[in-house]
């Protein structure tokens, strides 16, 4: 579907969020990384310089730009700079092997790879097998005491030098079709080769709009990046945190001690992650006796948090919201909306309620649990069926895989492959 900007309609895109925050709150702190602080004016400038720099080395609309990077400023900047050119961001899982990364680079047809020099060590043994025309841009994190040098033998470009040499002119947002891909996120490939899940400008914008509603972030929020940005584009938090002009706190790697330090030093209010993140935080608290100095909200997904874990979180000042979703649904599709009366339940009973997948987010109203004939299961908490979704937060499809897309979308619904009951 193609739109022409008019008096009463602009194509939806999350790129507008950065332009807006830089315009309205230019001096507000946007990003904190170690001793480095970047305000929204600077984040806007750096993201546009990245776009101009990529354009200068041949990136055009429709191209793919891959990034292998920790949760540091360049990773956030790439979420804007790449799609400013109408190119697609391919954020690669930092835990993958060299062979898996090579497959993604080849399958996506990425023209450029932006890579942290520490993570680049993974690719050094297969450098000779990388796509012949792949341009490599290396990031040297100046917050490290001894950042590793680039291991590549071939000619590479330095990220900061690319930005410094780029034009200062902002790149106009020219998204004429809001259903065009913004990014490609590759699945884990547990049942075969990873599939490239395409997110659109429209889907990303609408999902980012929904986040403040179920998560409660606002302009005074301080968001800590415990969730990898490569995972479903960080559940769209690179866009939703910027949407409300909140502050991003970078965390290169998850270390519980560092989490406690940043919560105290920076006043962190929100973070996300799998139950293993909460487990790491609570176990560290038990070992050291440290507590958070103020309440912190955590969104958890990937597996239901146990009653024991929820009790441990409550003890140190973490309120937990359980989310459920997939890569194919831009991350969270449902959240456990807590009812006030649940506080009156015994601890174990309340924990069982809090561990449920919950209800659809406001931007994802269509969800069913169906049997093999696509009939809804009974809402008795017993009959099991497959979770199916439809709507604004379902992927556009799998990149270059129409057969897998058709199978996933059979019957007009996205089939998650997950089993559930309906209470």
Name 403's Cβ contacts closer than 8 Å, sequence gap at least 6: none
Q: Which of 352, 368, 384 marks a domain boundary?
A: 368
Structural domains of the chain, count:
3
332 found inside a domain: yes
339: pLDDT confidence band, cut at 50, 70 and 90?
Answer: confident
Residue pair 194/20 in contact by the 8 Å Cβ criterion:
no
Q: How far is it, in rounded angstroms, from Cα 195 to Cα 184?
A: 9
Range(s) of the domain holding residue 405: 369-418
401 and 412, same domain (yes or no) = yes
- Digit-coded pLDDT (tens) for 240-293: 999 999 999 999 999 999 999 999 999 999 999 999 999 999 999 999 999 999
174 and 241, same domain (yes or no) = no
Per-residue confidence (pLDDT) for residue 345, from 0 to 100: 80
Q: Tell me: pLDDT of 4 over 80.
A: no
Mean pLDDT of 169-181: 94
SS3 155: coil
Mean pLDDT of 7-32: 96
Q: Which of 125, 159, 186 marks a domain boundary?
A: 186
- The pTM of this model reads 0.95
For the record, the structure tokens of 353 come out as 């309620």
* Separation of CA 182 from chain center: 13
Half-sphere exposure of 290 (CA within 13 A, CB side): 18
182 and 246, same domain (yes or no) = no
Looking at the chain, the whole-number percentage of residues with pLDDT higher than 90 is 82
DSSP string, 241-296: HHHTT-EEE-BSS--HHHHHHHHHHH---EEEE-HHHHHHHHHHHHHH----SS-E
Give the residue among 46, 13, 49, 43 at the shortest CA–CA distance from 30. 43
Q: 132 or 111, which is more confident? A: 111
Q: 138 or 358, which is more confident? A: 138
Per-residue confidence (pLDDT) for residue 412, from 0 to 100: 96
Mean pLDDT of 218-233: 98
For the record, the structure tokens of 283 come out as 């176990």
Q: What is the DSSP letter of 6?
A: B
Q: How far is it, in rounded angstroms, from Cα 235 to Cα 35?
A: 26
Q: What is the DSSP letter of 153?
A: S
Residue pair 81/50 in contact by the 8 Å Cβ criterion:
yes
252 and 349, same domain (yes or no) = yes
Mean pLDDT of 5-23: 92
Per-residue confidence (pLDDT) for residue 354, from 0 to 100: 77
- Digit-coded pLDDT (tens) for 302-337: 888 888 898 899 899 999 999 999 999 999 999 888
Mean pLDDT (the chain) is 94
Mean pLDDT of 180-197: 89
Per-residue confidence (pLDDT) for residue 99, from 0 to 100: 95
Mean pLDDT of 362-366: 85
Q: Tell me: pLDDT of 3 over 70.
A: no
Residue pair 415/398 in contact by the 8 Å Cβ criterion:
no
63 found inside a domain: yes
1: pLDDT confidence band, cut at 50, 70 and 90?
Answer: low
């Amino acid at each position: 579907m193609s739109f022409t900007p008019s008096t009463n309609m602009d194509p939806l895109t999350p790129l507008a969020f950065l332009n807006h925050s830089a315009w309205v709150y230019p001096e507000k702190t946007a990003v904190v990384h170690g001793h480095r602080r970047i305000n929204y004016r600077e984040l806007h400038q750096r993201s546009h310089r990245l776009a101009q720099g990529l354009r200068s080395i041949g990136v055009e609309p429709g191209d793919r730009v891959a990034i292998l990077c920790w949760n540091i400023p360049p990773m956030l900047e790439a979420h804007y700079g790449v799609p400013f050119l109408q190119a697609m961001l391919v954020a690669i899982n930092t835990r993958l092997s060299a062979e898996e990364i090579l497959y993604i680079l080849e399958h996506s047809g990425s023209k450029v790879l932006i890579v942290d020099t520490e993570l680049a060590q993974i690719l050094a043994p297969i450098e000779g097998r990388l796509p012949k025309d792949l341009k490599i841009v290396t990031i040297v994190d100046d917050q490290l005491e001894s950042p590793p040098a680039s291991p590549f033998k071939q000619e590479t470009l330095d990220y900061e030098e690319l930005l410094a040499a780029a034009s200062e002119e902002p790149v106009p947002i020219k998204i004429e079709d809001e259903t065009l891909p913004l990014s490609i996120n590759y699945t884990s490939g547990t049942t075969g080769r990873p599939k490239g899940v395409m997110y659109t400008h429209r889907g990303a914008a609408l999902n980012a709009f929904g986040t403040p509603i179920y998560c409660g972030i606002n302009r005074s929020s301080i968001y800590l990046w415990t969730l990898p940005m490569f995972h479903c584009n960080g559940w769209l938090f690179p866009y939703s945190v910027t949407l409300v002009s909140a502050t991003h706190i970078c965390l290169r790697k998850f270390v519980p001690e560092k989490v406690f330090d940043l919560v105290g030093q920076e006043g962190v209010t929100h973070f996300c992650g799998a139950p293993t993140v909460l487990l790491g935080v609570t176990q560290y608290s038990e070992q050291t006796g440290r507590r958070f100095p103020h309440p912190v909200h955590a969104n958890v997904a990937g597996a239901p948090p146990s009653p024991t874990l929820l009790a441990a979180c409550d003890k140190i000042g973490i309120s937990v919201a359980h989310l459920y979703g997939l890569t194919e649904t831009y991350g969270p599709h449902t959240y456990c909306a807590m009812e006030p009366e649940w506080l009156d339940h015994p601890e174990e009973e309340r924990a069982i309620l809090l561990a449920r997948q919950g209800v659809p987010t406001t931007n994802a109203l269509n969800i069913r649990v169906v049997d093999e004939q696509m009939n809804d299961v009974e809402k008795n908490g017993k009959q099991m069926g497959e979770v199916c979704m439809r709507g604004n937060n379902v992927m556009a499809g799998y990149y270059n895989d129409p057969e897998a897309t058709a199978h996933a979308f059979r019957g007009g619904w996205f089939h998650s492959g997950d089993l559930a009951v309906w209470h």
